[in-house]
Structure 1
Amino acid sequence: MTLTMRTMGAPCEIPTRVISGMKIEAINGEGVPVQLPPIFTKMAEQRLKGLQVKMGKNPQFKADYIDFMEKVIASGYAEEVSDGEKPKEGREWYIPHHGVYHPRKPDKIRVVFDCAAKCSGISLNDVLLPGPNLMNDLQGVLMRFREYPVAFSSDIECMFYQVKVPESQRDLLRFLWWPKGDMSQKPKVYRMGVHLFGAVSAPSCCNYSLRRTGTDNKCNASPEAVNTLHNNFYMDDGLKSVADVERAIHLVSELKTLCKEGGFNLTKWSSNKREVLKEIPVMDRAKELMDLDLESSQLPIERTLGVLWNAETDEFQFRCQIRKTEGQEGPCCLY
């Protein structure tokens, strides 16, 4: 099972394997020469010192950051590198990282691994193969979502973290971190075993893994379920519409089972039909729907692929901030 990717006109075969229910995708092609400068940990150490200073000034940021990193390690997405373990020459890189908060979710931190950070004029992303663009057209996904009266949406939980990187390439994803977040200790070397959001290779590899999940299991799934996996997802967001409630209920269940075969968990389900929502376990529903009384409450307005979807009225909506600049005359400006 291979994925053909090209760099400078030369094809590179990327093997796909399944281990422990998770697909394995190479980040730059087995056998592709990668020569990185022998800078070891200098850049990562400098960035970690800056992170330590920021944590010292902001206790909440520190607590959130440590909690995120420890969950990544405890979940098996990252592993500690044994002392003295030597990678192949030119196949080692230390990725600096920093934390950001979502503008609409100020209590939720995301640690960003900066694969674009340069040292000696080169970054990890400079030597990774981006691969073919396997993303569905955004406009097409939204238009198909509006095609039929019964609509539902879902999200692949931590999509990039569900696709593993071959062991031979994990030393390109090394990083520094304090054991248990204890900054009184000397930082240790860890490495990611899964794809990173900031790596240019990740979207193609993870999209391919999702598509391959449908193709590999087409004998055990309906053509509609496989087609949905191939054509109705934009990265980790799935949007689908069908003609009637019964068909939607069956397809939701089938998609959940199909994605599980590739190690992907579909969650944050939503629908414009209460009958469909009632068949979805509460913990698998979108956050706004978990505590909602489906018998008496209105369905919420949710953000999906950059637009607001009013599930109650089944309409797309937009929020615009209208204001006049100082000294402006005439029409207001839209921001």
Structure 2
Amino acid sequence: MDLAIRRFLAFERKLQKQQDLKKQYTEFIRQYASLGHMEEVKSPIPEVNFFLPHNCVLKPSSSSTKLRVVFDASVKTSNSISLNDIMLKGSTMQDDLFSILLRFRKHKFAFSAPGKFQHRGQLSTTPDEDLRYYRVKAVTYGTTGAPYLATRCLVELANTSHPLASSAIKDFYVDDVMKGSNNLKEAVKIQDELKTLLQSVGFNLDREVELAVDESTDEGVKTLGLTWNPKLDHFRITTVWNEPTKVTRRTVLSDTSRLFDPLGFVNPAITLDKIFLLELWALKLDWDEAIPMGLHTRWLQFRLELADLNRIRIPRYLETKNATVSLHAFSDASERAYGVVIYLRSINNRGDIKVRLLSSKSSGSSENYHSTKTGIMCSNSYGSSNRSCNKNPQHGHRQHTLLDRFADHLSLDAIQALIVSHLCGKQNFINTRVNKYWRYVNTKHNPADLVSRGARPSELINSKIWFQGPEFLSQPEISWLCEVIKEPKDLLEQKTIRTVLATSAVTDHFIDRIDHRNSFTYLKRIIATVLRAIECFKEKRVGHRFLSVAELEEALTLIIRYMQVKEFKAEIKQLRRERSIDSKNKLTKLTPFLDNNSIITVGGRLQNATIPYTAKHPAILPTSNPFTKLLLLDLHKDNLHIATQALRATARQQF
């Protein structure tokens, strides 16, 4: 509670300096209270409680919620446990973003609308009033279970008597819906049913349906990371860039994270970014250290060109209605990256051919990760795996699938990689990445070449082969120059490679693996810290800042016991059985016995002497053990480099 109050008062001081933000926040709180989603708690406050610290986030570009309250349910309480620690996360109830966006592109008439779901709750006040406490009565943002609870409610709504609305529920991503139909009346009916169904349980769509009609305007709405213009019916990649200051690993990574492209429309430009990151990470610089001048200049120039990505327009509708549809994947790899790009080719009843960029995927590869040929195999695997994401959508008269055929197009390097891999005995690697639909395509007709090598944004804007595919895809298949790849018949005899693994058990004690820096004191403190950590984990508590004398003594006991077990294993075994040690043993003269810590100590006739116990019964140290030497060296230094006789007398007070 105290932490929540301190953080709220700090947040209140921030609001006093930003009156516009304060006005929006106050209105948000009042509206939320008026809806009955929270109730004021009068004194006394319940004994069992959890106060949620909160803040507000302003997002002017949002079309639905300009201001949103953010809660911190991960804050630790006095027992070092947070609310999120004791909540279950729940399973994933909705489709992935990639699948929802692909289904959204198959409808001739489409709409998108964000929902206003109640995920809020707060502790609120004004500067001239006392603090008031509110109990949240709705699912709260920032808690572990919030995403599952919200989406689970939507899934439950799908089991209703509204079939059209129920189908639209499957196209929700969190609280945003992207749905449509190939029939205008049906699209409007889906919208009406969906609004009625959601309103029946207190959910509301934030704005009216957006139907794709042809009007000359370039305004758009932000939808699942993309900007969709419902009038011109195209997608855009919109990114806001801050003014660059000092260029470091941190700022470069921050700028890179702004490039959100779920379908891979601008992947060639992102590939250049990935390659740059690999080069930068290889230098192993600190996060806030300035990068070398050469990379600094390259990054600023590339960052300046990234603004050109906002000019790219990608048609949303794939024109699959009453058409024969096929997917064509092009893959390629270079020494720096590999990837795949997939196009949808549709032929309508009149024989018109349309080719649309569907999606792409790429990955950067470090110098030691794989060879170019291995990268080509992985890029081919990308093509096959992306195909699996497109099996369910329906279109027109073909109800069972969106696809009629799928084909992979490879560069000449890919064919060479296949043959070489056969000769090198990589059959298992190949079997998981080959496809019977492979075709060879020349590099200049392969759009995946842009993915594997990267392209600057200024080059990508005018790239016809990237957005419309190679020219031969727009022509009848009989005129294609691609050849179907067949497995070579005259392969050399493959050599069977058998790998034999030999393992050896590691018998070293953990003390032997500690870097003690030739200091017994340092070794003792490390072991004391380890022992404290073990106890803290067992009891789930936080230890003190400094090591205690008892903890250091326990560490010393552990070291001595380890030294004796290593050197006097047979003697310890005999003493535990309460048997006398062999008379010829060098320890016999010391009349040894095991103390309560299982350490061999010196016996004798000093039991009644008024001296410390360690002086009566000193522990026996093996002379050949290196830790004995370290211990004596530390005693020598701690006692200001005393002479030999004095050192022996000091050591014998305990050993």
- Whether the TM-score (by the shorter chain) exceeds 0.5 is yes
Match of 2:302 in 1: 332
What is the alpha-carbon distance in structure 1 between the residues aligned to residue 11 and residue 42 of structure 2? Answer: 24
Structure possessing the higher relative contact order (Cα contacts under 8 Å, 6 or more residues apart):
1
Compared CA separation, residues 186 and 234, structure 1 to 2 (3 A): same
Match of 2:53 in 1: 96
Partner SS state of residue 112, structure 2? strand
1:212 aligns with 2:181: no
What is the alpha-carbon distance in structure 1 between the residues aligned to residue 166 and residue 56 of structure 2? Answer: 36
Question: Does the 8 Å contact 2:228/2:235 carry over to 1?
Answer: yes
Question: Does the 8 Å contact 1:155/1:269 carry over to 2?
Answer: no
Match of 1:75 in 2: 35
Match of 2:201 in 1: 262
Match of 1:42 in 2: 2
Whose helix fraction is larger, Structure 1's or Structure 2's?
Answer: 2
Q: CA deviation at 1:200?
A: 1.2
Summarize deviations over 1:25-58 as a string: whole Å, max 9, x none.
Answer: xxxxxxxxxxxxxxxx211121122123223333
Summarize deviations over 1:8-34 as a string: whole Å, max 9, x none.
Answer: xxxxxxxxxxxxxxxxxxxxxxxxxxx
What is the alpha-carbon distance in structure 1 between the residues aligned to residue 173 and residue 74 of structure 2? Answer: 23
Q: CA deviation at 1:329?
A: 4.9
1:315 aligns with 2:273: no
Match of 2:70 in 1: 112
Compared CA separation, residues 269 and 329, structure 1 to 2 (3 A): same
Question: Does the 8 Å contact 1:245/1:273 carry over to 2?
Answer: no
Pick aligned residue for 1:149 from 77, 94, 108: 108
- 1:144-293 mapped onto 2 (5 Å cutoff): 144-160=103-119, 176-178=123-125, 181=126, 183-215=127-159, 217=160, 220-222=161-163, 224-229=164-169, 231-274=170-213
What is the alpha-carbon distance in structure 2 between the residues aligned to residue 150 and residue 57 of structure 1? Answer: 46
Pick aligned residue for 1:132 from 91, 95, 111: 91
Match of 1:287 in 2: none
What is the alpha-carbon distance in structure 2 between the residues aligned to residue 79 and residue 236 of structure 1? Answer: 25
Runs (5+) with no aligned partner, structure 2: 248-292, 308-655
Q: CA deviation at 1:245?
A: 0.8
Partner SS state of residue 56, structure 2? strand
Compared CA separation, residues 184 and 201, structure 1 to 2 (3 A): same
Match of 1:165 in 2: none
Q: CA deviation at 1:259?
A: 1.8
Compared CA separation, residues 210 and 57, structure 1 to 2 (3 A): same
Q: CA deviation at 1:146?
A: 0.4
| TM-score where L is the length of structure 1 | 0.67
What is the alpha-carbon distance in structure 1 between the residues aligned to residue 82 and residue 59 of structure 2? Answer: 25
Summarize deviations over 1:102-131 as a string: whole Å, max 9, x none.
Answer: 153699432222212223332211111111
Q: CA deviation at 1:248?
A: 0.9
Summarize deviations over 1:44-92 as a string: whole Å, max 9, x none.
Answer: 12112212322333333333322222222222111101222535xxx41
Partner SS state of residue 208, structure 2? strand
Compared CA separation, residues 67 and 313, structure 1 to 2 (3 A): closer
Compared CA separation, residues 104 and 148, structure 1 to 2 (3 A): closer
Alignment size in residue pairs: 252
Partner SS state of residue 84, structure 1? coil
What is the alpha-carbon distance in structure 2 between the residues aligned to residue 156 and residue 150 of structure 1? Answer: 20
Q: CA deviation at 1:246?
A: 1.4
Q: CA deviation at 1:159?
A: 4.5
Match of 1:60 in 2: 20
Runs (5+) with no aligned partner, structure 1: 1-40, 162-172, 275-293
Match of 2:396 in 1: none
Question: Does the 8 Å contact 1:210/1:262 carry over to 2?
Answer: no
What is the alpha-carbon distance in structure 1 between the residues aligned to residue 96 and residue 70 of structure 2? Answer: 26
What is the alpha-carbon distance in structure 2 between the residues aligned to residue 321 and residue 254 of structure 1? Answer: 36
CA RMSD of aligned residues (A): 2.9
- Greater mean deviation of Cα atoms: 128-137 or 311-320: 311-320
What is the alpha-carbon distance in structure 1 between the residues aligned to residue 98 and residue 72 of structure 2? Answer: 29
Summarize deviations over 1:130-181 as a string: whole Å, max 9, x none.
Answer: 11121321011100000121111122123436xxxxxxxxxxx7x5332xx3
What is the alpha-carbon distance in structure 1 between the residues aligned to residue 25 and residue 128 of structure 2? Answer: 16
Match of 1:8 in 2: none
Question: Does the 8 Å contact 2:57/2:69 carry over to 1?
Answer: yes
Question: Does the 8 Å contact 2:62/2:222 carry over to 1?
Answer: no
What is the alpha-carbon distance in structure 1 between the residues aligned to residue 217 and residue 27 of structure 2? Answer: 35
Residue type of the alignment partner of 1:136:
D
Q: CA deviation at 1:101?
A: 1.1
Match of 1:283 in 2: none
Identical-pair percentage: 28
Compared CA separation, residues 318 and 195, structure 1 to 2 (3 A): same
| TM-score where L is the length of structure 2 | 0.36
Partner SS state of residue 68, structure 2? strand
Partner SS state of residue 165, structure 2? helix
